[in-house]
A = this chain, B = another copy of it.
Amino acid sequence: MTDLTIGIDIGGTNTKYGIVDRGGNVFHQGNIPTTDFEDFQDYFDSMADALREAIHFLPKDTKVVGIGVGAANGNYYTGNIERATNLKWKGVLPLAKMFTDEFAIPTILTNDANAAAVGEMIYGNAKGMKDFIVITLGTGLGSGLVSNGALINGKHGIAGELGHTSVNPAGRYCNCGKRGCLETYVSATGIRRTVYKLLADHLEPSELRGVSFDNLNTKMITEAAHRGDIVAKAAYEYTGRILGMKLAESVVHTDPEAIFLFGGLTMAGDLIFKPTIRHMEENLMPLFRGKVKILPSALSNQAAPILGASSLVWDHLDRKMKEVAY
């Protein structure tokens, strides 16, 4: 009998789900548009239908042992999604309990970036590391911090919100209600705002002057930069500078071995990594210089969010085994 886990990644736009084994092999994979559902119960019912069907078609010698969910503002301790700023359903959503009631298997829920961090540790480049940080660059900026080999969940289960550290208290408006948060500069949305700011402030010609704010996306900015577009290149330089400056502050908190960058922006390669590394080093307390690697996530493929979410279950089972032995 092969144990399998269900991994679910709830993003602001899409919900990805899949069924995987301990080695990271994906047995089934699917997708539901998060934004299609005005009502949270309707969304849950559709997810449950899709999962029931997927489970029905699994090989006979397999068994689903748990569900892992990564979601913005997911709380590890309560299993609730709490006041997520990137989802349309407001208030407290008791998702882990709903899944456990429906499928009668344990459900582990956490912040999507925490899920990515556990995924990096179980399947990715952080195997064997005890101290590292994962930064996810999507619609917003998420982060998962691992110290002493364990995820930092914090007292209230909401640790790792580096996207809401401050770049400029009088800066860009943020979904969280504050101004000048890191994610308003460093994220898919952030670099788009930066491009528009640069287009507003400067006179340089740019192919991006022909694109509306709504149509502009990370891929277009990256491709323009690769073609030598001066505004697109400057936008990546600026994004890396801000990210590097702020990572220098995170480093002195937890002294990580490495920081992994995950998500669409990292597809730009050197365009984002080089300025990030340079500005982190420049802004670091000298004692830490040359000690902390900035690396791409090993999970940068389609199945990554699913692997991250499913890894929560393996991590949970590993810890349970240890407790029993103890």
Let me know if A307 is at the binding interface, CB within 8 A: no
Let me know if A91 is at the binding interface, CB within 8 A: no
Known contacts A166-B248, A326-B326; A287/B161 CB under 8 A: yes
Let me know if A210 is at the binding interface, CB within 8 A: no
Binds B, one of A33-41, A149-157, A215-223: A149-157
Let me know if A159 is at the binding interface, CB within 8 A: yes
Contact A145 B254 (CB under 8 A): yes
Contact A255 B165 (CB under 8 A): no
Contact A253 B155 (CB under 8 A): no
Contact B325 A161 (CB under 8 A): no
Q: Nearest Cβ in chain B — how far from A160, in angstroms?
A: 7
Q: Which residues of B contact A256 (CB under 8 A)?
A: 154-155
Q: Which residues of B contact A249 (CB under 8 A)?
A: 165-166, 249
Q: Which residues of B contact A286 (CB under 8 A)?
A: 176-178
Give per-residue flags for A111-125: 1 if the beta carbon is below 8 A from chain B beta carbons, else 0. Answer: 000000000000000
Let me know if A54 is at the binding interface, CB within 8 A: no
Contact B147 A152 (CB under 8 A): yes
Contact B252 A285 (CB under 8 A): no
Contact B155 A287 (CB under 8 A): no
In the bound assembly, the distance between CA atoms of A157 and B257 in angstroms comes to 11
Let me know if A83 is at the binding interface, CB within 8 A: yes
Which of B152, B177, B250, B292 meets A148, CB within 8 Å? B152
In the bound assembly, the distance between CA atoms of A249 and B163 in angstroms comes to 10
Q: Which residues of B contact A255 (CB under 8 A)?
A: 152-161
In the bound assembly, the distance between CA atoms of A159 and B130 in angstroms comes to 13
Q: Which residues of B contact A148 (CB under 8 A)?
A: 147-148, 150, 152-153
